[in-house]
Amino acid sequence: MMARPKSNDKRRAILDAATRVIAAQGLSAPTATLAREAGISNGSLFTYFATKSELLNQLYVELKTEMAAALHGFPAEAPLREQVLYVWTNWMRWATTHPDKRRALALLAVSDDITPETRAVANRLMAGVTGLMERVRAGGPLREAPMPFVGAMLTSLAETTMDFMIHDPPNAAQHCAVGFETAWRAIG
- Residue 99 CA to residue 86 CA, distance in Å, equals 20
Within 10 angstroms of residue 15's Cβ, the number of other Cβ atoms is 19
Tens digits of residue pLDDT in 127-160: 999 999 999 999 899 999 998 899 899 999 999 9
Look up the pTM and report it.
0.89
**Domain range spanning residue 94?**
52-187
- Residue 18 CA to residue 55 CA, distance in Å, equals 8
Domain count, the chain: 2
CATH number for 14: 1.10.10.60
Residues 45 and 67 in one domain: no
Residues 30 and 66 in one domain: no
Classify residue 78: in a domain, yes or no: yes
**What is each CA distance from 164 to 21, 91, 105, 153, in whole angstroms?**
23, 14, 19, 17
The residue that leads in pLDDT, 44 or 64, is 64
Tens digits of residue pLDDT in 61-80: 999 999 999 998 888 889 99
